[in-house]
Amino acid sequence: MAKSSKNILDEARSSIRQIDVEQARKMIDDGAAIIDVRESDEWRQGHIPQAIFIPRGFLELRVEEKLPDRKRPVIVQCASGTRSLLAARTLAEMGYENLYNLSGGFNGWKDKGLPWVAERQFTPDEITRYSRHFVIPEVGEKGQAKLLDAKVLLIGMGALGSPTALYLSAAGVGTIGIVDFDSVDLSNLQRQIIHTVDRVGILKTQSAEESIHALNPGVKVNRHEVRLTSENAMEIISAYDVVVNCGDNFPTRYLVNDACVFAHKPLVDGAIFRFEGNATVFSPDRGGPCYRCLYPEPAPPDMAPSCAEAGVLGALPGLIGSIEALEAIKLILGAGEPLIGRMVYFDTLSKDYVRVLKVPRDPKCPVCSEHATQKGLIDYEAFCGLGAGATTNGAAHAAAGR
Nearest to 102 by CA among 180, 16, 187, 42: 16
- Could you say whether residue 267 binds Zn ion (CB under 5 A)? no
DSSP E strands, 291-375: 342-347, 353-358
- 3-class state of residue 18 by DSSP: strand
Shortest separation between residue 367's beta carbon and Zn ion, angstroms? 5
Question: What gap in Å lies between CA 377 and CA 234, rounded to an integer?
Answer: 9
Q: Which is nearer to Zn ion, 122 or 282 (CB)?
A: 282
Q: Are 169 and 328 in contact (CB under 8 A)?
A: no
Q: At what angle do helices 204-215 and 161-171 cross, to 10 degrees?
A: 30
User: What is the rounded CA–CA span in Å between residue 157 and residue 60?
Assistant: 47
As measured in angstroms, the least distance from the Cβ of 287 to Zn ion is: 11
Let me know: does 251 contact 386? Beta carbons within 8 Å.
yes
Q: Name the residue nearer to Zn ion (CB basis): 352 or 370.
A: 370
As beta bridge partners, residue 357 has 343
Least distance between Zn ion and beta carbon 289 (Å): 5
How many helical (H) and strand (E) elements, i.e. helices and strands, does the chain have? 17, 13
Would you say 176 or 368 has its CB closer to Zn ion?
368
Q: Does 368 bind Zn ion (CB under 5 A)?
A: yes
Instruction: Give the CA-trace dihedral at 6, 7, 10, 15, to 10 degrees.
Output: -140
- Measured from the CB atom, is 293 or 331 closer to Zn ion? 293
Q: Which is nearer to Zn ion, 266 or 317 (CB)?
A: 266
**Cβ density class 326-358: b for 16+ within 10 Å, e for less:** bbbbbbbbeeeebbbbbbbbbeeeeeeeeeeee
How many chain residues interact with Zn ion (CB under 5 A)? 5
Q: What's the closest the beta carbon of residue 290 comes to Zn ion, in angstroms?
A: 3
**Applying CB under 5 A, which part among 28-36, 224-232, 366-374, 384-392 lies near Zn ion?**
366-374
344 CB-near residues (< 8 Å, 6+ apart): 278, 279, 280, 323, 354, 355, 356
> Quick one: 34 or 365, whose CB is closer to Zn ion?
365
Contacting range for Zn ion; rule: CB under 5 A; set: 80-88, 193-201, 288-296, 347-355: 288-296
Out of 228, 365, 396, 399, the only residue in the binding site for Zn ion (CB under 5 A) is 365
Under a CB-based contact definition with an 8 Å cutoff, are residues 102 and 81 in contact? yes
> Of 129-137, 165-173, 303-311, 368-376, which segment contacts Zn ion by CB under 5 A?
368-376
- Rounded least distance, CB 293 to Zn ion, Å: 3
Question: Among residues 32 and 293, whose Cβ is nearest to Zn ion?
Answer: 293
The span of 76-84, 167-175, 235-243, 362-370 binding Zn ion (CB under 5 A) equals 362-370
Residue 199 found at the interface with Zn ion (CB under 5 A):
no
| Contacting Zn ion within 289-328 (CB under 5 A) | 290, 292-293
Q: How far is the CB of 279 from Zn ion (least distance, A)?
A: 18
Residue span binding Zn ion (CB under 5 A) among the ranges 28-36, 238-246, 272-280, 285-293: 285-293
Sign of CA dihedral 382, 383, 385, 391: negative
Query: Closer to Zn ion at the Cβ: 39 or 285?
Result: 285
Contact positions vs Zn ion (CB under 5 A): 290, 292-293, 365, 368
